[in-house]
Amino acid sequence: MNSSLNFLAGILSTALLAPSVAGFPQGQNNQSALAKQSSIIFSGTVSQLGAVSFVGVPQSSQTIVVRVDSVLKKPPAVSLKKGDNITVEVKDPSTFQQGAQATFYAEGWIFGSGVAVKELGHDFNPGAGAPAESAPTGETALGRMQKQISDQDLQNRIAASDLVVIGRVTDVHRWTIPKSAAARYPISEHSADWHEAVLQIKTILKGTKPKGGKMAVRFPLSRDVAWVNSPKFQKQQQGIFFLKRDQVSGDPTATLGGYQVAAYTCLKPGDWLPLSDEARVRSLLKK
């Protein structure tokens, strides 16, 4: 929670303190893209040039050590806090001097006794001191920025789907590839353990409604590392399904009510969303 607040506050302060970048729509777009791309965002003070902060990081003229003043965004697993020294591999070391204060947009690089990151971008902080720790008036705007990032991901998912369906699972059964199919089914610890969910379609949000209002959706029930994050369906489960024509299981067709129909798959985390996301999905479909 604190991390999120810090993130919002940090983006805000960067926007306030660096009007040349963030004061215009183009700047906001750049910042939004950088924020999306960055796994770690922090504000800090450059303490050493051409140096590294811990053993195991290759030292070069591009590496600088920065004392962290404020952590704006980081994954929960990463230990990084105010006062830590972090190694940054910067794009252009000539732009940095000792004592310079900047907000760094970065991706993770090496994790050891400390953290090393690669710079994706930076904004120099013109004023002294760290970004403001809280800025309630700007949180709404920055919340919008995060929502935009999340919406963009969802829009990409919609675009990549053959069908987007609101429906309810009426049956789940194990599915094995028919002997007539061309593909073989090797036995492996990574075997998907394919199951088929029969989906009663309530609404089609994208694509053409299949005949009969039902469709077959294949998903891996396996708990193997290869498939554990795929959605697993149960009878009566409702929601929004982002589906692709089956190009994975080995047979692109299914038998439903005695008819042969196209089979679909639902494989990636996020390919199923609860009904509470319906309005959001509908609004994105209109864009």
| Contacts with another protein, residue ranges (CB under 8 A) | 39-40, 55-58, 74-81, 89, 107-115, 118, 184, 186-191, 193, 222-228, 247-248, 267
- Kindly state the tokens that stand for 155: 């829009």
Letter for the amino acid at 27? G
Which C-beta is closer to another protein: that of 166 or that of 192? 192
Q: Return the closest-CA partner of residue 58 out of 46, 67, 50, 48.
A: 50
Nearer to another protein, 75 or 207 (CB): 75
CB of 212 to another protein, least distance (A): 27
Closer Cβ to another protein, 151 or 193, answer by number: 193
Residue 114 CB, nearest approach to another protein (Å): 6
User: Counting every residue, how long is the chain?
Assistant: 287
Complex with another protein: residue 14 or 63, whichever CB lies closer: 63
Q: Which of 7, 9, 149 is nearest to 75 (CA)?
A: 7
Helix (H, G, I), strand (E, B), or coil: what is residue 39? coil
Provide the minimum distance between the beta carbon of 141 and another protein in the complex, in angstroms, as a whole number: 25
Distance CA 90, CA 161 (A): 38
Question: What is the distance between the terminal CA atoms of the chain, rounded to a whole angstrom?
Answer: 31
In the block, which residue shows the tokens 């891996």? 220
State in angstroms the smallest separation of the CB of 233 from another protein: 18
Task: Read off the tokens for 11.
Answer: 């983006």
Quote the CA–CA distance of 178 and 244 in Å, as a whole number.
Answer: 21
Minimum distance from residue 57 beta carbon to another protein (Å)? 8
Task: Give every CB contact of residue 276 below 8 A, 6+ residues apart in sequence.
Answer: none
Task: Please tell me the distance from the alpha carbon of residue 193 to that of residue 11, in angstroms, as a whole number.
Answer: 45
CA distance 11 to 49: 26
Question: In whole angstroms, how close is the CB of 100 to another protein at the nearest point?
Answer: 24
Contact (Cβ atoms closer than 8 angstroms) between residue 32 and residue 148: yes
Q: 95 or 176, CB closer to another protein? A: 176
Q: Tell me the closest approach of the beta carbon of residue 127 to another protein, in angstroms.
A: 27
Beta-carbon count within 10 A of 136 CB: 10
Measured from the CB of residue 79, what is the shortest distance to another protein in angstroms? 3
Neighbouring-strand partners of residue 116: 87, 110
Extract the tokens encoding 259.
């008819």
